[in-house]
Structure 1
């Protein structure tokens, strides 16, 4: 194995772990409600707070990697995430688990943009192939979460969906120290403190308002929603006028492909989070599957995604990646839409398999070509910032999707008192969002930059 591929393997090991935790909690929702105990809204917050603290710092951590070295930031994030995972497993209340998950998200935010920036350094020419591996890990981790989560919840208890990260984190730490070079981009960045504060508080206000609207009443959350929207507006105004170095370099969005790739990433993140909450509840609470059965039932989706992702990555080196992404979006939308439309209380679960396989095919052909195409035209000195923005876009979509699915599910239950109808209607939301993403993906254009650097084998 060449040094570049060995380094990528080590980076993907930790990356797999932190993305696994974006969905692994979903299969444990019924067990957390009864065992902690917790309300549905509190359990949704267990997932949403992780996605929120994962998303908000990504702009900053991408810059920190540029300045202090991506390997150093990756290791810091890995240690924080692993320690916080232990804390999550030891939590004795919903509020404590929410706080521990917030710390987990901060560790994930420090780690994620570094893995993507390293690919640009390690693979200056065959980047699409490397992104195919990275995308395979991303897709597999996201949809393997329910499978592993179901196994652990069923056999050992919900605490082990967090305890399992501890040995994985230690192995990942050893691999990175042994195999990943201490690359130092040494791009000198000024840190936009007002931008950090404005973006963090703005996203927090929006997510808090969306997720708690059904429980607290929309009148009660009008002020955090309004304040969040206003702060995001002020943040964008400040970024355009910041005389020094803005947290969000708006000139990046002069690149059409980067702009449309990020918009597509937001909608994909939204759809993936919004899919798993109602699907898991439907499988367990309506079709009466155990957590293990529900996880294993979604297993083929993971397998199809993992098999297709490397091929999609290699293919994106040869043809425009947007065509592969559009195919994936359509397949994913049709898959989840078909599940939503046929959901019934007494349905034979095997009728769901074609839809799940389509979802897996869609996910497997989206991540790698989208990632590779989105950052293809960026200059080397902007890779860290671009990777941070790209990953933040997807994670912002994740947190908004989780919040939206939670509030829609609660609203549907209040209106119909029918769990099947509530789950089915909620699953239509990500299907519609994915179809909207096709429009943005079509706006991307292929760009192949000249090699700027290489990591000798």
Structure 2
């Protein structure tokens, strides 16, 4: 069921971003919550676990509408409060992570698992009417597209994500290899089509610009870290310490609470430092947390291990929040951030990080070898840290600063493909159109 949600979400989110451009943010968000209500009602009536698989797929489709549309709305409707709104957005993600599992567990224990779907449907319906009453409407634009390019992107992404999912099961390696290779070939086909028809899709050179590439890598690493910690930690605690489920829930809640509190902290950091510097700090924090999780078994007592895990997850929550906020800020500064399709591709790469996390934890469960599991997570985060470091050295956050790119003196007269002059992170004026 987790795989169905993740695969559909990752595959559909770029197209959802294009739909946001074509039909407008308000219409897309309302449609997303209406679809979520329908999926929840269907889930509440499911008779078997197998019937819940398509329900999770529908929920993934609805979520794919929400992610790029919310970001586009924040970029366009409140450009003067972008830093603050993105910090609040990151905090809201943390609040959802904190409240969701606890509320879901309490509801399922008292009212049954079907009630979880019903309560969620009621909340989504309330949000639907709230959006209709309050959300400003961004003017719809007539956007061109290339159907073949969109299909290549969706099929290629699906092939790669399914390949990762099959690889994690260890028993169908040939199918995993074929799916991954086929998906990679289709993604190369998308790049070729997009290069030939950039006005219909997106100029691929914009996707390798310093700002967008660093932003996408950071966002993917944040989701990779979050997915790894949320999935691996319960498995580790239950297998190695026989920790009760309610205690595990409280420990995981510390990560989510730290994510919600990390938004305001990110705002303070971005007033003092440039975006890439703050992002590197967040990645470094997650790197330390992952490495620490791999070493906690060296502690002498179960109580000491539990306390250390709680502190490390809290640290990781702050790091994830910092990286999420700064990657969204950098996305808004990049040329792809001016279109829903570009925002959708950014979210596709971000959620692919979560798919990689699920595959890694399934292939190397922490109950068997926690050192290997968490050190693998640390190595992945370290690789992104180095990449973000190499994508640009930001200047101090004073007047005329550049949020991401290296100075012209160091880069010469050339700029990255598709980057605005000077690497400014301010949104372009045509964002509001």
Fold match, TM over 0.5? yes
Corresponding residue number in structure 1 for 2:62: 107
Q: Which residue matches 1:273?
A: 227
Within a 5 Å distance, the mapping from 1:84-163 to structure 2 comes to 84-142=39-97, 145-163=100-118
For the 8 Å contact 1:50–1:105, the answer to whether it is kept is yes
Greater mean alpha carbon deviation, residues 400-409 or residues 173-182? 400-409
The offset of 1:330, in angstroms, is: 1.1
Residue 193 of structure 1 is matched in structure 2 by: 147
| Unmatched 5+ stretches in structure 1 | 1-45, 410-418
The separation in 1 between residues aligned to 2:224 and 2:382, in whole angstroms, is 12
Contact 1:139–1:363 under 8 Å retained in 2: no
Counterpart CA distance in 2 for 1:114 and 1:425 is: 38
- RMSD, matched Cα: 2.7
Question: What corresponds to 1:221 in structure 2?
Answer: 176
User: What SS does the corresponding residue of 1:216 show, helix, strand or coil?
Assistant: coil
1:321 to 266, 270, 275: 275
Q: Check if 1:241 corresponds to 2:196.
A: yes
| Distance in structure 1 (CA, Å) of the matches to 2:180 and 2:276 | 34
Q: CA deviation at 1:313?
A: 2.8
Query: Is the counterpart of residue 170 in structure 1 residue 132 in structure 2?
Result: no
SS in 2 for 1:75: helix
2: CA distance between counterparts of 1:454 and 1:261?
A: 18
Gaps of 5+ in 2: 395-402, 404-423
By how many angstroms is 1:50 displaced? 0.8
Partner of 2:374: 427
Moved more, 146-155 or 87-96: 146-155
2:302 is paired with a residue whose SS is: coil
Name the CA shift for 1:236/1:434 in 2 (closer, same or farther; >3 Å).
Answer: same
- Structure 1 residue 306: Cα displacement: 1.3
2:326 match: 369
Change (3 A) 1:427 1:326: same
Q: Secondary structure at the match of 2:320?
A: helix
The aligned length equals 398
Partner residue of 1:359 out of 316, 321, 326: 316
Query: Which residue of structure 2 aligns with residue 402 of structure 1?
Result: 358
Give the secondary structure class of the aligned counterpart of 2:80.
Answer: coil
For 1:55 and 1:294, locate their aligned partners in 2 and report how far apart those are by CA, in whole Å: 28
Per the alignment, do residues 219 and 250 of structure 1 end up closer, same or farther by CA in structure 2, a change over 3 Å counting? closer
Q: Is the partner of 2:75 in helix, strand or coil?
A: helix
| Of 95-104 and 228-237, the range deviating more from structure 2 | 228-237
Aligned to 2:429: 452
SS in 1 for 2:367: helix
Which secondary structure state, in structure 1, belongs to the residue aligned with residue 174 of structure 2? coil
Question: Corresponding residue for 1:209?
Answer: 163
The equivalent residue for 1:339 is 293
TM superposition shift of 1:423: 4.3
Q: Shift of residue 316 of structure 1?
A: 2.0
1:63 is displaced (CA, Å) by: 1.6
Deviation, 1:229, is: 2.0
CA gap of 1:90–1:337, structure 2 versus 1, over 3 A, is: farther
Is the Cα contact below 8 Å between 2:333 and 2:427 reproduced in 1? no
Do the aligned residues in 2 keep the contact of 1:55 with 1:109 (CA within 8 Å)? yes
Contact 2:10 2:351 in 1 (8 A): yes
Q: For structure 1, which segment, 111-120 or 287-296, has the greater mean C-alpha deviation from structure 2 after superposition? A: 287-296
1:7 alignment counterpart: none
In the TM superposition, residue 372 of structure 1 has moved relative to its aligned partner by 0.9
